[in-house]
Amino acid sequence: MTPSQIDLVQSSFAKVVPIAETAASLFYGRLFEVAPEVKPLFRGDMKEQGRKLMTTLAVVVNGLKAPDTILPAAKALAVKHVGYGVTAEHYVPVGAALIWTLEQGLGDDFTPETRDAWLAAYTLLSGVMIEEAYPKAA
């Protein structure tokens, strides 16, 4: 990721933070729409799950300028998700749901450059996570 892309991800995420609960709800609604097979993987309180999602996103977004600080936690999270039944194939609809959610939440502020920056961030992070959790799939 370029420094400009990191700045775009961080500045756009700052606009999502005030609507975090709505964003999380949009995300999971979209995820379950595009990948209904993942819904059974979520057994707990979805509001709490949404808070966890937004907290994790905040940590990742804030750590993009120093990836060595976030990658160990991301790798550990990926391995933990294997135990919940997450597969490497699930990362594609998750990324699609994330981009869609950002588009909905940011509206006109979700420019093509911002979209590209988020895609770069998600591609980088999901690639590292998939490689850690499913070394043969990567």
Can you list the domains of the chain with their CATH numbers? 3-133 (1.10.490.10)
CA 87 to chain CA centroid, nearest Å? 15
Query: What integer pLDDT is reported at residue 43 of this predicted model?
Result: 87
Cβ–Cβ under 8 Å, residues 39 and 90 = no
Query: What integer pLDDT is reported at residue 91 of this predicted model?
Result: 97
Residues 6+ apart with CB under 8 A from 31: 38, 93, 94, 97
Query: What integer pLDDT is reported at residue 112 of this predicted model?
Result: 98
Query: What integer pLDDT is reported at residue 137 of this predicted model?
Result: 57
Residues of the chain under the 50 pLDDT cut: none
Query: What integer pLDDT is reported at residue 13 of this predicted model?
Result: 97
User: Tell me, what DSSP letter sits at residue 44?
Assistant: S
Query: What integer pLDDT is reported at residue 119 of this predicted model?
Result: 98
